[in-house]
Amino acid sequence: MIVSGAASQVLAARLATELGEPLAAVEYDRFPDGETLATVPEFDADRAVVVATTATNDAWVELLQLQDAVREAGASEVVTVVPYMGYARQDQSFADGQPISARAMARALSTGTDRAVLVNPHENSVADFFGCHVTVCDAAGRLAEPLPEGLADPLFLSPDAGAVGLAEAVRDAYGGGEVDFFEKIRHSGTDVEISPSDADTGGRDVAIVDDIIATGSTMSEAVAHLTADGADRVFATCVHPLLVGNARLKLERAGIDRIIGTDTVERDVSTVSVAPIVAAAVDAVEAA
């Protein structure tokens, strides 16, 4: 059975269809003191596939509760799919006294599952923090699907050198175009400085490709450079459209034409589904 976290209900339903497995009923409650309670009242299967994006602390707790609930109900195998893994960007101790939060969360998750499936964690090395088998899926190439055909002299840009592989994946899936990257310096959680790429952008259609749009600072800075330099249409594409706070406003004000994201984070811009690649990852390990 497919068992959904509250933030992954659409993806869980799509995954149930892909895998041909029933979608479990789940109830999400909260006690007066703020504690969450996720219940799977009629779980009845050998295998549970728990699907839960963990963009909030509550979602993390709910995921652990769902793993425990299905074990308690008799699941002999638990597969945990984390479409968007919160805390994955805290993958180092950046200053004395800081935890490696991604490791702490991975360890907690590993105690309740036989294996895990992640979609574009911020760095693939986060998989090393888990105490169970992990399959990492790359959804970047699927971001090309909603792009219009016939882009004008298309340019695929990543906001920094580290994400250029994502831009290449989208370019390859689209079928052609130039790839380049901006230089990025992050001053704080919301203050990002972007230097233009070497590519000539005037009159061209540009797709910026990143793993996450969170505050929108990175993407809106990049878009502003492109519109100032005379780019024609600018598409902001990402795997995880978190879009927190005033991110949408920042992007609109910068001159974005369209935001394209996947259903790892369920927003109105989540027009691409990762269900087929997640289903393949779940089945591939089973077949191994």
Q: Can residue 254 be called a binding residue for ligand R5P (CB under 6 A)? A: no
Backbone angles phi, psi at 107, to 5 degrees: -65, -45
Instruction: Please identify, using beta-carbon distances, which residue of 7 and 213 lies nearer to ligand R5P.
Output: 213
Instruction: Name which position in 83, 159, 241, 261 contacts ligand R5P (CB under 6 A).
Output: 159
Window 179-198: residues binding ligand R5P (CB under 6 A): 192
Residues with Cβ within 8 Å of residue 172, at least 6 apart in sequence: 141
Window 219-238: residues binding ligand R5P (CB under 6 A): 219
Instruction: Please identify, using beta-carbon distances, which residue of 140 and 213 lies nearer to ligand R5P.
Output: 213
Instruction: Please identify, using beta-carbon distances, which residue of 9 and 190 lies nearer to ligand R5P.
Output: 190
Instruction: Name which position in 91, 205, 210, 266 contacts ligand R5P (CB under 6 A).
Output: 210
Instruction: Name which position in 24, 214, 274, 279 contacts ligand R5P (CB under 6 A).
Output: 214
Which of 122, 184, 225, 240 is catalytic? The answer is 184
184 is catalytic: yes
**What's the CA gap between 118 and 286, in Å, rounded?**
16
Between the alpha carbon of residue 130 and those of residues 22, 111, 113, 126, the distances in Å are 28, 9, 10, 8
Q: Can residue 86 be called a binding residue for ligand R5P (CB under 6 A)? A: no
Backbone angles phi, psi at 9, to 5 degrees: -70, -40
Q: Which of 114, 94, 90 is nearest to 103 (CA)?
A: 90
Q: Which stretch binds ligand R5P (CB under 6 A): 30-38, 40-48, 211-219, 266-274?
A: 211-219
Between the alpha carbon of residue 98 and those of residues 90, 91, 107, 184, the distances in Å are 9, 11, 17, 24
Q: Can residue 40 be called a binding residue for ligand R5P (CB under 6 A)? A: no
- Binding interface with ligand R5P (CB under 6 A): 159, 163, 192, 210-219
The residues assigned a catalytic role are 184
